Amino acid sequence: MKPLRGMRVLDLSRILAGPLAAMWMADLGAEVIKVERPGSGDETRRWGPPFVGGESAYFLSVNRGKRGIVLDLACPADRRVLDRLVRESDVLVHNFLPETAAKLGLGYERLRGLNARLIYTSVTGFPPGPYRDEPGFDALIQALGGLMAITGEGDRPVKVGVAIVDVLAAWAALAGTLGALLVRERTGEGSEVEATLAECSASALANVSQAFLLTGEVPARLGTAHPHIVPYQAFPTADGLLMVAVGTDAQFQTLCQALGRPEIASDPRFATNPDRVRNREVLVEILTEVFGARSRAEWTTRLKEAGIPAGRVNTLADLFDDPGLVGRLLVEVDHPTVGKYTSVGCPLPGAWPPSPLPPPRLGEHTDEVLRRLGVRG
């Protein structure tokens, strides 16, 4: 049985992090009701192209599994409807700025008064402090939050190609919500959960941040390479890039044997990983010449047979054509205007199979949901 079966999630969030967390809750079995503004709805409905069947790919990507209603939160009658929904929900997800939530009457203390068992999950840009009421945007947080300091090459910072901080915040919001639901099972009380983009970005630095905090040394941007392990990067072969991930000294010796260059492993400059990190440029230059002499397919076969982690740098077409990589994630969705299409589900074990309910058209389920809940505007 799915872990959130029988629970109701009220999704007041927009854009990416909140909607993605709520969609994963739907995959985990919850009934999710997405609340949007009349007339315009979630901003991502207009983010494109591509648009298919009048729907943006962006909106479709994070709103599957939900029923959609429209409420005008500035209208007293609609606010009373929302209050009724809060009373009958297990989780509320939103990404309003803290001051905006307070002005709308959506602060935690007020909603807790309506439903003491409510898990109140918010996604914000910044933790309490000087930036608290500033909006958070993924690209901005990638810059402020340290990710662009270590992503790219040399003096050319780049952002990750997907809104990775939003995705990290979605995971944090989901994990926090699941933990709060577990606490509620023990205590009977709801609680407040907050995921901030800035803290998620900083925490994602992991070993890189720890190295800096211990030594004060500013890390270099290394492209596909690893700051603490060598060789651990993509190498150009005769016909494409090959990612090689050598994590131990024994693996390095095996790599050199598979490359037909055992003498590299016996070079004292490369005897241990710290030696290889110190002599990174020399070793990478040698290995680049070796890898360039043969095709990617040939090297992949050789290295895999030797037990060395290696593989091509895939395109998205390569990825989604390989069931060994995407596993059980893919779900077929039948949308009334888009038609049948493939979407991506939550990778947690309890989320399989993902919800096939198509993302809602704006206000599509308003009458159905309010009638079923006995709510009238």
| pLDDT interval class at 80 (50, 70, 90) | very high
Mean pLDDT of 49-76: 97
- Give me the active site residues, please: 166
Q: d(Cα 286, Cα 270) in Å, to the nearest integer?
A: 11
Give alpha helix (H) positions in the chain: 17-27, 57-62, 76-87, 98-103, 108-114, 138-144, 147-150, 164-187, 197-203, 206-215, 249-258, 262-266, 273-278, 280-291, 296-306, 316-320, 323-326, 366-372
| pLDDT interval class at 270 (50, 70, 90) | very high
Q: d(Cα 321, Cα 28) in Å, to the nearest integer?
A: 26
Mean pLDDT of 75-80: 94
| pLDDT tens-digit map of 302-350 | 999 999 999 999 999 999 999 999 999 999 999 999 999 999 999 999 9
| pLDDT interval class at 373 (50, 70, 90) | confident
Mean pLDDT of 90-111: 96
Domains with residue ranges and CATH for the chain? 8-204+328-372 (3.40.50.10540), 232-320 (3.30.1540.10)
Q: What is the pLDDT of residue 234?
A: 98
Mean pLDDT of 61-80: 96
Q: d(Cα 249, Cα 246) in Å, to the nearest integer?
A: 8
pTM of the complete model beyond 0.85: yes
Mean pLDDT of 66-77: 95
Q: What is the pLDDT of residue 257?
A: 97
Mean pLDDT of 36-40: 96
Write down the mean pLDDT value for the chain.
Answer: 96
Q: d(Cα 173, Cα 17) in Å, to the nearest integer?
A: 8
| pLDDT tens-digit map of 204-260 | 999 999 999 999 999 999 999 999 999 999 999 999 999 999 999 999 999 999 999
Asked if residue 180 has pLDDT above 90, the reply is yes
Q: What are phi and psi of 186, to 5 degrees?
A: -85, -35
| pLDDT interval class at 377 (50, 70, 90) | very low
Mean pLDDT of 181-196: 98
Mean pLDDT of 274-288: 98
* 3-state SS, residue 152: strand
| pLDDT tens-digit map of 356-365 | 999 999 999 9
In contact, 355 and 64? CB cutoff 8 Å = yes
> What six digits make up the tokens of 102?
């307070």
Q: What is the pLDDT of residue 375?
A: 74
Q: What is the pLDDT of residue 376?
A: 59
Q: d(Cα 361, Cα 336) in Å, to the nearest integer?
A: 9
Q: d(Cα 47, Cα 256) in Å, to the nearest integer?
A: 49
Mean pLDDT of 88-111: 96
Place of tokens 């095709």: 295
Q: What is the pLDDT of residue 4?
A: 98
